[in-house]
Amino acid sequence: MTQAEQDIVQTIAAEVRRRLGGDGSGHDWWHVFRVWNTARTIGAQEHADMFVVELAALLHDVADWKYHNGDESVGPRVAREIMQAQSVDAGCMDHVCDIIATISFKGAGVQTPMKTLEGKVVQDADRLDAMGAMGIARAFAYGGHKNRALYDPDNKPTEHMNKEQYFSDNGSTINHFYEKLLLLKDRMNTDAARALAAERHIFMQQYLERFFKEWNGEM
């Protein structure tokens, strides 16, 4: 990256931090901060264009459509405004907006393919933050925010075949592990992310094993 690009990244990081400060549902600045760091690690190993990777990581949740009545155009639009204010070139801007528009998980049976290496890197980084110790913490934080049970033995997980089904499900947070978190390992786009995902996956499996033992009073 050039010095000018690094300066733009820092300015946009400060702007995103200002906008996302303090959110208890898992979409806070620190989620973005972790995705940014992980995207840098993966992106370097995959030889991606780091200016695009860093901007997309920083801007990927700046206006999540799930919090704007399902309007999927808000995220890319706000991201574009922020980049325009820093005179990011049009090609980069289009690329970043395209990544933001297609990054989200929409259910087990719904494919969300990324077209470019940079998109793959950022999607992997975002998904890694839903796995491992971090992912467990975020899942229960989100479940609490939505008033959901930790676990309900009478309500089994389902593999959602479309996004309407996925987003209207009110099941327990443990179900979310089976509906999304444990599926992520096999959906990584890059080798660098696959290696990180494998470890985070094992940690979640061990966690669940222990959760059920404690639930049943066996431990």
List of residues contacting ligand ADP (CB under 6 A): 26, 66, 104-105, 126, 130, 135, 138-139, 142-143, 173, 176, 180-181
Interaction of residue 124 with Ni ion, rule CB under 5 A: no
Q: Residue 180 binds which one of Ni ion, ligand ADP, none, with CB within 5 to 8 A depending on kind?
A: ligand ADP
Q: Which is nearer to ligand ADP, 73 or 84 (CB)?
A: 73
Q: Which is nearer to ligand ADP, 12 or 136 (CB)?
A: 136
Q: How far is 40 from 147, CA to CA, in rounded Å? A: 34
Q: How far is the CB of 6 from ligand ADP (least distance, A)?
A: 26
Residue type, 53: V
Nearest to 183 by CA among 114, 112, 101: 112
Q: How far is 181 from 175, CA to CA, in rounded Å? A: 9
Q: How far is 130 from 147, CA to CA, in rounded Å? A: 19
Q: Residue 34 binds which one of Ni ion, ligand ADP, none, with CB within 5 to 8 A depending on kind?
A: none
Altogether, the residues listed in the chain come to a count of 219
Q: Residue 26 binds which one of ligand ADP, Ni ion, none, with CB within 5 to 8 A depending on kind?
A: ligand ADP
> Which positions from 57 to 86 touch Ni ion by CB under 5 A, shown as an x/- string?
----x-------------------------
Q: How far is 76 from 83, CA to CA, in rounded Å? A: 10
Within 13 Å of residue 60, how many CA atoms lie on the same side as its CB? 30
Give the number of residues in contact with Ni ion, rule: CB under 5 A. Answer: 2
From residue 73, how far is each of 12, 50, 98, 99, 101 by CA, in Å? 20, 24, 11, 12, 7
Residue type, 49: D
Q: How far is the CB of 95 from ligand ADP (least distance, A)?
A: 19
Q: How far is the CB of 44 from ligand ADP (least distance, A)?
A: 22
Q: Which is nearer to ligand ADP, 138 or 200 (CB)?
A: 138
- H-helix or E-strand spanning residue 102: helix 90-102
- Lookup: tokens for 140: 């229960």
CA angle 20, 5, 194 (to 5 degrees): 65
Q: How far is the CB of 92 from ligand ADP (least distance, A)?
A: 22
Q: Which of these ranges, 123-131, 132-140, 181-189, 197-205, lies near Ni ion under the rule CB under 5 A?
A: 123-131
Q: How far is the CB of 25 from Ni ion (least distance, A)?
A: 11
Q: Are 38 and 125 in contact (CB under 8 A)?
A: yes
Q: Which residues bind to Ni ion, rule: CB under 5 A?
A: 61, 126
